[in-house]
């Protein structure tokens, strides 16, 4: 059903990509899980989403509270999706499985293009997901705007 979109950051911040894609997902009626590999980074993202910019509030919460199931956007390190998410946005090399991609409408894998370890992790994720039959697209902003560079589709 779903497919994975890899976002290679060279100009935008992770927060910019979160706002862009999560806003679209919410507009389509999807709930979202943002999965990170680092709790401190998720806490910083939580703070940024509350504060910047004032005119584009994104309703969300950090996992571990009593209302996780009610959150339209849930920030977590875990693999559970108690909010019934139909989309997953992975940051900082957080794992995404082919089964998750197949079960969701969309999975975004966001990685820092200036970090060689992050690029290598994304390459491994690409090979793993496409090797398992997931549809995937690679997006780059190197030209100054987001452009799809390549796609791998099931035949």
pLDDT at 78: 92
Share of the chain above pLDDT 70, in %: 95
Residue 7 binned pLDDT confidence (cut-offs 50, 70, 90): very high
State the pLDDT at residue 50: 80
d(CA 11, CA 141): 7
User: Residue 22: which CATH number?
Assistant: 3.40.50.10110
Report the range of poorest mean pLDDT among 1-5, 39-43, 142-146, 147-151.
Answer: 1-5
Segments forming the whole domain that contains residue 122? 3-152
The answer on pLDDT for 155 being more than 70 is no
Q: Tell me the pLDDT band of 138, cut-offs 50, 70 and 90.
A: very high
Instruction: State the Cα–Cα distance between residues 121 and 117, nearest whole angstrom.
Output: 6
Per-residue pLDDT, averaged over 129-133, amounts to 93
Tens digit of each residue's pLDDT (9 = 90 or more) over 29-57: 999 999 999 999 999 998 888 876 666 77
Please state the domain count of the chain. 1
**pLDDT band (50, 70, 90) for residue 1:** low
Using one digit for the tens of pLDDT, what is the confidence trace for 91-124? 999 999 999 999 999 999 999 999 999 999 999 9
Q: How far apart are CA 40 and CA 65, in angstroms?
A: 16
Contact status, residue 75 vs residue 88, Cβ threshold 8 Å: no
pLDDT of residue 48: 84
pTM over 0.85: yes
Asked which of 80-89, 100-109, 140-149 is least confident by mean pLDDT, the reply is: 140-149
Concatenating the DSSP letter of every residue in 28-45 gives TT--EEEE-S-HHHHHHH
């Amino acid at each position: 059903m779903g497919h994975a979109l890899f976002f290679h950051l060279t100009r935008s911040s992770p927060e910019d990509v979160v706002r862009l894609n999560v806003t679209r997902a919410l507009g389509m009626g999807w709930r979202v899980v943002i999965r990170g590999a680092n709790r401190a980074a998720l806490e910083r993202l939580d703070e940024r989403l509350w504060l910047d910019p004032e005119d584009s509030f994104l309703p969300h919460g950090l996992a571990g509270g009593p209302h996780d199931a009610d959150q339209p956007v849930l920030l977590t390190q875990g693999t559970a999706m108690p909010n019934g998410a139909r989309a997953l946005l992975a940051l900082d090399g957080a794992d995404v499985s082919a089964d998750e991609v197949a079960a969701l409408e969309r999975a975004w894998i966001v990685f820092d293009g200036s970090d060689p370890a992050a690029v290598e992790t994304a390459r491994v994720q690409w090979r793993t997901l496409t090797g398992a039959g997931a549809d995937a697209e690679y997006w780059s902003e190197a030209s100054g705007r987001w452009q799809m560079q390549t796609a791998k589709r099931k035949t």
